[in-house]
Amino acid sequence: MMNISGLIITQNEEKNIQQVLECFDFCNEIIIVDSFSTDKTVEIAEKFPNVKIIQHKFEDFTKQRNLALDTAKNDWVLFLDGDERITPELRKEIIDELNKDQQKDAYYFYRKFFFAEKPINYSGTQTDKNFRLFRRSKARYIAGKKVHETLEVNGTIGEFRNKLLHYSVSDYESYKQKMIHYGVLKGQELAIKGKKYSILAQYAKTAFKFFKAYIMRLGIFDGKEGYQLSYLQSLSVFETYESLKKEQN
């Protein structure tokens, strides 16, 4: 199997860093781009072999990710978030794929979403997928996107059958703060692109986001958690326009 670089960007991930770094056990290099964590993230990470830690002030997610790509020495990279976990079945599938004579240039990972360790089946998570394994020489995150960073792939694309576990929500309040943060960054991104604030668009898109997640994407069948997820997704849209409004004042 060819060499792989495991990549991750962090900020105060002491609750996650041990487990996510263990998912890189088949990588011969681990690159961590840390935004000056004030907890034990770096201390825990330094205990792992083949780890290189880069301290870089956070500007946006895209810049952090591209810095990790530029630092890696291998062409193949496995890029995980702190709240993601590779199952034994997915690990085997990745290794088997990379042992083949021919590979794609980038692979989608479908993700299984958890809310405080409770599995979520709907609420828009059914089709959630992201690129996580790819060749650096064939892909790069598109500049200008401050949040919901997008990988541009100049090559062939595949996908894995086994899902990545995504423990995105440890508790309601922390996820609420994450959604607000995402909304603020998205508003700044829209302002840079010349988007004009509209109170009509703010309220219409906020309402539609909730309706889409809770009704159209069947969040109603996820119980209380489905309602909370749908609300917080719509809150992020509302905060996007609040951020855009502030940028234009």
pLDDT digit string (tens) for 13-33? 999 999 999 999 999 999 999
Confidence of residue 249 (pLDDT cuts 50, 70, 90): confident
Domains of the chain are 4-168 (3.90.550.10), 172-247 (no CATH)
Helix (H, G, I), strand (E, B) or coil at 203: helix
pLDDT value at residue 24: 97
With 80 as the cut, is the pLDDT of residue 185 above it? yes
Which contiguous run of DSSP H or E holds residue 72? none
Mean pLDDT, the chain, integer: 95
With 70 as the cut, is the pLDDT of residue 107 above it? yes
149-156 LR contacts (CB < 8 Å, sep 24+): 149/60, 149/61, 149/62, 149/65, 151/106, 153/105, 153/106, 154/105, 155/104, 155/105, 155/106, 156/104, 156/105, 156/106
- Pairing between strand 106-115 and 118-119? antiparallel
Give me the percent of the chain exceeding a pLDDT of 70: 100
**Segment 140-156 mean pLDDT:** 92
Angstrom distance (rounded) from CA 209 to CA 207: 5
Which contiguous run of DSSP H or E holds residue 218? none
Helix (H, G, I), strand (E, B) or coil at 121: coil
Tokens of 64: 């952090």
**Segment 58-80 mean pLDDT:** 96
Angstrom distance (rounded) from CA 64 to CA 73: 17
pTM check: above 0.85: yes
Helix (H, G, I), strand (E, B) or coil at 39: coil
Angstrom distance (rounded) from CA 30 to CA 21: 8
Asked if 3 contacts 22 with a C-beta cutoff of 8 angstroms, the reply is no
With 90 as the cut, is the pLDDT of residue 146 above it? no
Question: Looking at per-residue confidence, does 149 or 158 come out higher?
Answer: 158
With 70 as the cut, is the pLDDT of residue 35 above it? yes
pLDDT value at residue 1: 67
Confidence of residue 10 (pLDDT cuts 50, 70, 90): very high
**Segment 45-59 mean pLDDT:** 95
